Amino acid sequence: MPRIYICFLWHMHQPFYKDLVTGQYKMPWTRLHALKDYYGMVRILEEFPTIRQTFNLVPSLAVQIQDYASGQAADPYLAAALKPAEQLTQSEREFVLTWFFQASHRLIHRFPRYAELYEAWRAADRRPDRAARFFGNGSLRDLQVLSQLAWFDEEWLERDPDIRSLVDKGRDYSLEDQALLGRKQTELLQRVLPVYREFAARGQIEISTTPFYHPILPLLCDSDIAAVSHPGLTLPPRFRYPEDARAQLARARQFITDLLGAPPAGLWPSEGAVSDEALALAADAGFQWSASDNGVLARTLGRPAGPAETYKPYLWRQGDRRLLLIFRDHFLSDLVGFVYSRMGAAEAARDLLDRIRENCRPILASGRDAIAPIILDGENAWEYYDRNGRPFLRELYRRISHDPNLAAVTVTEALQKVPPEPLDHIFPGSWINANFDIWIGHEEDNRAWEQLLRARQAFQQRASALPQDRKSLAYEEILIAEGSDWCWWYGPEHDSANRPEFDELFRTHLANAWRALDLAPPEELSRPIIRVAAPELHTPPTGWIRPTIDGLVTSYFEWLGAGQYRVDFRQSAMHGRRFLVRELYYGCDAQNLYLRLDLIPDGPAENFEARLLIEPSRHPAAASRFRIQLGRGKAQLLEADPPDAATNAAFAFQRVFEARLPLASLRASSGEPLRLQISLWRNSLPLDALPQQGWLEISTAEPLEWPI
């Protein structure tokens, strides 16, 4: 009798959070999801020996898991969780409060004490300064422990005696409990990749992969392809580096080969994004099958892709290249990802299988077997399910195991059972709306592509003259910056408290590439691409000022009448963003522009650089640029462009940074508006900038109001 072959493909992926230069992890999500999802999703299959599945491992994720498993990963979030609460500095206490409530409602409220602490945090308006009185050492230690415990795999929460003891204790944790938590994290992280090797060796799972750093392959091949799926889309300058797409594919296939001892047959292209050129490269790399979304299938066929079209494989062929394809059932995959978490386990499992049976009924009636492709993220959905989705999965797998008309198989097994239909082309698109609009076309996305293109062009020009180690580092950082995750957060489509951190990390990877090329990163990398800015407070000058340029605030009256500009980071939407500049004072005396930069108390004290860019608004081509080395109680001018812009200028740094810049040297006259940008750098990496977006417009005219 005809059967239904259900192909579950669980996509396991996190962005590359590690800064290759500093070695630090900028966000903790790889570690936390490795604790909660990657191990248990495979281990649960031990209870259901007839259930076979495909797991898609992104190499950049696996590399990070290896780093954590070795115990060598430098993760400031883990360090803050394990440090004795009594030894936390004020900034570390604020860090713990700011970050350690970033979990779903279900994860937090599973632990009564965690929920209690969360309510105290909410009562303090999520402000570390206001929350301080609620969080003594005992409360902070409870938060440190519970914020990690909440992410442990379900099996460990229920069956590991050490972890179970921490769950049962519930509150009033000790230093010994913190240390135990750290040891158990390492123990679990060390088991993640071995469980994939174990189940792949026994044949119960197939491991497919994705291009190494999860890029949108069609856009690497040719970013202009986006206009095919969305005519009229505003695009950045053309990015066309198919050799990078080829490298991302080849390195991914080799990584999985080394991990498992055999090459992977299958490729889940990042975000299901495909084009004819991308599929050709995948075929050349040795992949035998790939997958996308049935929205792409519909645009390829030129008609709706219902079950009759979706529940079967295809053979894409162009010239001597060929690749087997399956297309995910978009609707059912999204039910698992976004809907069934709000239902009971039995109800959800029954609904999914009933829908699959109904979709396949006409296919089976015709005497043919059917393939039902369920492809989705294998990690993020589960924190919204009861007990991390394990009751739902157990109920689902049990029902499939007991139904003789259903079989859960790997993709390769399914392709051996059902003959494919031919395809001579593929429509370029992704699983989201069968286009690439998430990653290109919006102003923020296009700015990111422009910065990526500049770095890639610089690499092309400089690589041959570089030592191999610097050339390799520069190219690695570019490949990382090509990942899809950065542009996922640019534009209006997606929101997260971590958008600013993703933006900063993207710019850091590019800045690292420029440094490896022995080139100064572009000034633009000091400023956020993302348009989530902190509230700005700007008060214009009320009088002439004539301060002494000595790096000290010698008297209150010295800067009386100056304009003030600052970012109110305490009320910032840029959650977790670290600002170094507290405020800027500025003003004139008809002949000179004066600037004063105040840094936060624990900001950099030496070996950093201030960069000033000043434009007369009526003559923007006459911009003046200054680079000033700050540290050890002095300010040294490194560069002025043009050189005469520094004529009669003065700079000083002790407690504050002060500057005097003659208007004549700036090619500006008294009363002429100026546009100003200031940024701070260390080791050619951006630290902070004022303003965060665009320019600060300042006046050199005599103020109409004078201080009393």
Report pLDDT digits (tens) over 33-74: 999 999 999 999 999 999 999 999 999 999 999 999 999 999
CA distance 402 to 404: 6
The helix, strand and coil proportions of the chain, stated in percent and rounded to the nearest 5, come to: 45, 20, 35
Q: Which residues pair with 373 in a beta bridge?
A: 7
- Dihedral pair phi/psi, residue 78, rounded to 5°: -65, -40
* Helices 242-260, 59-69: crossing angle, 10 deg rounding: 50
- Measured CA to CA, the distance from residue 118 to residue 126 in angstroms comes to 9
Could you give phi then psi for residue 567, rounded to 5 degrees?
A: -100, 125
Taking 70 as the pLDDT cut, the residues of the chain under it are: 532-535, 568-579, 605, 685, 693, 704-708
How far is Cα 219 from Cα 234, in angstroms, rounded to an integer? 14
Identity (one letter) of the amino acid at 412?
T
Using alpha carbons only, how large is the chain's radius of gyration in Å?
A: 28
Helix (H, G, I), strand (E, B) or coil at 678: strand
- Hey, what domains does the chain have and what are their CATH numbers? 207-324 (no CATH), 443-526 (1.20.1430.10), 536-698 (2.60.40.1190)
pLDDT of residue 458: 97
Give the pLDDT confidence of 102-117 residue by residue, as tens digits: 998 889 999 999 999 9
Q: What string of DSSP letters covers 230-251?
A: STT----S----HHHHHHHHHH
Predicted pLDDT of residue 19 = 93
Peptide bond into 467 cis (omega under 30): no
Q: Token match 């990015």: residue?
A: 239
Query: How many angstroms separate the CA atoms of 40 and 47, rounded?
Result: 12
pLDDT at 252: 98
* CA distances to 361, 374, 642 from 368, in Å: 10, 19, 76
Structure-token pair, residue 550: 């000595």
Report d(CA 538, CA 571) in Å as an integer.
15
Instruction: Say if CB 489 and CB 496 are below 8 A apart.
Output: yes
Query: pTM to 2 decimals?
Result: 0.82
Helix 468-481 and helix 499-516, axial crossing angle in degrees, nearest 10: 160
Spatial distance between the Cα atoms of 687 and 603, rounded to a whole number of angstroms: 10
The whole-angstrom separation of Cα 529 and Cα 444 is 6
Q: Which two tokens stand for residue 599?
A: 């840094």
Contact 690, 526 (CB under 8 A): no
Look-up of token digits 């698109």: 429
13 and 38 Cβ atoms separated by less than 8 Å = no
Helices (H), 463-586: 468-481, 485-489, 499-516
